[in-house]
Amino acid sequence: MTAKASTWILSAQCESQLGSVDVVTRFLKERRCYITEISSFDDPRAGRFFIRAAFTADDTATFDQAEFETAFSERAAPFAMTFELTPADKRVKTLIMVSKADHCLNDLLYRHRTGQLPLDIKGIVSNHRDLEPLAQWHGLPYYHFPVTPDTKRAQEARIRALIDEVDAELVVLARYMQVLSPELCHRLSGRAINIHHSLLPGFRGAKPYHQAYEKGVKLVGATAHYINDDLDEGPIIAQGVDAVDHAHYPEDLVVKGRDVECLTLARAIGYHIERRVFLHAGRTVILKH
């Protein structure tokens, strides 16, 4: 099947070795593919090389993705290079999970509606009904999966079934206030993004911003990361921060924190869908512009 796309993204990684850049750029030149953006990183400590190239084909009408991948596989084989070829305009099939807080969901739906985030949102999952009217206003399916300690296993089974049903490529935890089981975390490894506040020093439990106010914090922030079975400790994709001072009361900290959470989550999703994120040894490499 011939694919038609104006721009393609080739992302690859391999062990650090001579010629790892050349194997990508020379292949694209021979194919008369014009590189519009390229970035790479070599990690001498890990002995690992990462590269991302955006390019246009000489004749987009006859560009054959399967043939390109087969040919590049042969060229990359001596380097044991793994790679992914993706249309730059691909809309990623996504499920968004929420509880009651609406700020991150509102922001994502706005960016989706205005084309800032090219997502194909397949639905919104929640353990509460509070945000169902927001989903309905956007014309999106809303799945209410209530959960209690006794029903958690069955509720997660419904989530897994829905992920398979809609063929979700990305799951976004936009302030979903439930801890996922290790089994579900492993299943969603590298394709589920969570957002949470980042306050220094760290404050856990109820009302973290009130705790932060009592300690006189000077920075509020947020961290977006891939999930794993360690709560809020998965590979970090993006972080944001904003300054505060003694004049900011707990309610002010909450407002600022929510703004940072929205921006940080959107940035992380953008990196992910643009194929800028590489995972290796529990860390991320982000190849930006």
CATH number at residue 61: 3.30.70.260
CATH number at residue 171: 3.40.50.170
Q: Scan for tokens 């959470």, then name that residue.
A: 261
- CA 4, CA 23: separation in Å to the nearest integer? 24
Among candidate residues 63, 87, 111, the one where a domain is terminated:
87
Give me the residues paired with residue 96 across strands: 124, 172
Examine residue 278 and state whether it is found in any structural domain, yes or no: no
- CA 175, CA 270: separation in Å to the nearest integer? 18
Examine residue 156 and state whether it is found in any structural domain, yes or no: yes
Query: Roughly what angle, to the nearest 10 degrees, separates helices 65-76 and 20-30?
Result: 140
Say whether both 29 and 100 belong to one domain: no
Say whether both 180 and 260 belong to one domain: yes
Q: What is the CA radius of gyration of the chain?
A: 21
Examine residue 236 and state whether it is found in any structural domain, yes or no: yes
Examine residue 282 and state whether it is found in any structural domain, yes or no: no
Q: How many structural domains compose the chain?
A: 2
Q: Is 246 helix (H, G, I), strand (E, B) or coil?
A: coil
Q: Determine contact, residues 157/130, Cβ cutoff 8 Å.
A: no
Say whether both 184 and 62 belong to one domain: no
Residue 192 main-chain phi, psi, to 5 deg: -135, 125
Examine residue 82 and state whether it is found in any structural domain, yes or no: yes
Among candidate residues 54, 87, 120, the one where a domain is terminated:
87
Say whether both 68 and 157 belong to one domain: no
Range of the structural domain that residue 158 is part of: 92-273
Q: Which helix (H) or strand (E) holds 104?
A: helix 103-113
Q: Is 39 helix (H, G, I), strand (E, B) or coil?
A: strand
Among candidate residues 72, 87, 102, the one where a domain is terminated:
87
Say whether both 106 and 17 belong to one domain: no
Say whether both 183 and 104 belong to one domain: yes
Say whether both 100 and 69 belong to one domain: no
Whether 22 is a known active-site residue: answer: no
Say whether both 131 and 253 belong to one domain: yes
Work out the widest C-alpha separation in the chain, in whole angstroms.
64
Kindly name the residue from 102, 120, 130, 232 that is annotated as catalytic.
Answer: 232
Examine residue 287 and state whether it is found in any structural domain, yes or no: no
Q: Determine contact, residues 176/98, Cβ cutoff 8 Å.
A: yes
Per-residue pLDDT, 200: 62
Structure tokens at 205: 């439990």
Q: Determine contact, residues 197/220, Cβ cutoff 8 Å.
A: yes
Say whether both 127 and 215 belong to one domain: yes
Is 0.85 topped by the overall pTM?
A: yes
Per-residue pLDDT, 230: 74
Say whether both 207 and 267 belong to one domain: yes
10-residue stretch averages of pLDDT, the chain, 289 residues long: 70 97 97 96 96 90 90 97 96 97 97 95 97 96 96 95 97 94 93 88 80 91 91 88 94 95 98 96 91
- CA 123, CA 142: separation in Å to the nearest integer? 6
Q: Determine contact, residues 84/278, Cβ cutoff 8 Å.
A: no
Q: Determine contact, residues 56/36, Cβ cutoff 8 Å.
A: yes
